Amino acid sequence: MHIHILGICGTFMGGLAQLAVAAGHRVTGCDANVYPPMSDQLRDAGVELIEGFELDQLALKPDTFVVGNAISRGNPLLEAILDQGLPYVSGPQWLAEHVLQGRWVLGVAGTHGKTTTASMLAWILEDANMAPGFLIGGVPLNFGVSARLGDTPFFVIEADEYDTAFCDKRSKFVHYRPRTVVLNNLEFDHADIFSDLAAIETQFHHLVRTLPANGLIISNAAEASLERVLARGCWTTVERFNDPAGYRVTGDDARGELSLFGPEGRIGRSVWQLSGDHNRANACAALLAARHVGVSLQHGLDALSRFVNVKRRMEVRGEVRGITVYDDFAHHPTAIATTVAGLRRKVGKARILAVLEPRSNTMKLGTMKSQLPDSLREVDAAFCFAGNLGWDAREALAPMGQRAVVEEDLGRLVDQIVIAAQPGDHILVMSNGGFGGIHGKLLAGLSE
């Protein structure tokens, strides 16, 4: 089959393209901006890339056009496909029909932690010689790639609640039909497509409705929103984690220890490179999911000692004059607070300088701007890039007083951070985008 992908350079669609090539399909694709690293990965996989959405791409005559959810009505190529009645399908539907069908799908859903938990789960299965396929919205450093077809029945996927395509406003995850699903957490996000938390809970309910009776739901016992989802109807066995009387993982960040507990007490312990209560909760969910396909909890704990975190999850980008610069994907206030708290426990009383780009659609709308000061309460200083925001970041961060610096110009922001930084500081950069290459600019500025 020849497929032509519209919006191919997004993480999900780029991963789908690589899976399609591995499955023997011919893949071409286009995007508004064809740029590394995804463009390099795709070309290395043998994918022909076209920049833009010109109508001459119709001459490729693929068997079907696969349309990413970044493509909206008004796109010239999409309009021509519709006008001419040409075959098209969404990315999640194509994936479900041509890659996931007949496989044991392990889906990881939730507002936060999907990428890390899915990466842990894929690694535990890999370490157990189960050679899973996977499609993850990041690059697990144990694998070095975000997608792999795999040659066993098992397939791990990051199950996203964002909508499917212009023609299908259901969440992506309803297409995947997992047998094992992790419900990590659930709070309001994606204000550009969801009106409130109840609307997202409805989509999670739709996911639960697709699960077989002989499947397994691994749900966070600490989340009232998930309990509401399950109360709307559930036909599948539920195992809960973060349960004081059940499955939970505790640990010591300073010593890199973690211990798994169950209803009968401690099951085992291990050491690992990660930190923070959020990552321990992610680990507990991954361990229970892996057990569902036959990996013992003890083996899973041992595998986590060899787990390397995902790229852009508290990734150290460099150290200059005793100043460490980190890169993290956090962009929702809850994720920001959790990430900061994890670093605080790791570095103790050392200074943390937070650098924030409110770039996600939800943050650009200003829906959660009032939560930002509290999410940054544990940092010693916060630097916010306010370029292209539709709300007043200075006003939003005013409760932080002199601890907050806001700049509309990226160069001035870098200069302010470099001036403020002292030996022993930890500079935590948080954004779900490239942030104008700020990490390299900071390291260069600190070196002068």
Region 372-389: mean pLDDT is 89
Last residue in a domain, options 69, 93, 117? 93
Residue 310 domain-assigned?
no
The torsion angle over the Cα atoms of residues 184, 190, 212 and 304, rounded to 10 degrees, is: -30
DSSP state at residue 179? S
d(CA 287, CA 268): 12
Which of 34, 36, 80, 114 shows the shortest CA–CA distance to 67?
80
Domain check: are 144 and 246 in the same one? yes
CB neighbour burial string for 184-201, b if at least 16 within 10 angstroms, e if fewer: bbbebbbbebbeeeeebb
d(CA 105, CA 92): 13
Tell me the pLDDT band of 362, cut-offs 50, 70 and 90.
low
Cβ-proximal residues to 224 (8 Å cutoff; 6+ apart), any chain? none
The pTM assigned to this predicted structure is 0.79
CB 212 within 8 A of CB 181: no
Domain check: are 110 and 41 in the same one? no
CB 215 within 8 A of CB 179: yes
Domain check: are 121 and 54 in the same one? no
CB-based burial of residue 156 (10 Å sphere; 0-12 exposed, 13-18 middle, 19+ buried)? buried
Q: In terms of residue numbers, what domain contains 89?
A: 2-93
What's the chain's Rg over C-alpha atoms?
22
Please say if the pLDDT value at position 364 is more than 70. Answer: no
Domain check: are 28 and 156 in the same one? no
Please say if the pLDDT value at position 172 is more than 90. Answer: yes
Return the structure tokens found at 311.
């790229």
| 3 state SS for 114-137 | HHHHHHHHHHHHHHCCCCCEEECC
CATH number assigned to the domain comprising residue 283: 3.40.1190.10
Tens digits of per-residue pLDDT, 224-244? Answer: 999 999 999 999 999 999 999
- How many domains does the chain divide into? 3
Tens digits of per-residue pLDDT, 417-433? Answer: 999 999 999 999 998 77
Q: Looking at per-residue confidence, does 63 or 169 come out higher?
A: 63
Phi first, then psi, for residue 264 (nearest 5°) are -100, 5
Work out the percent of the chain whose per-residue pLDDT is above 90: 64
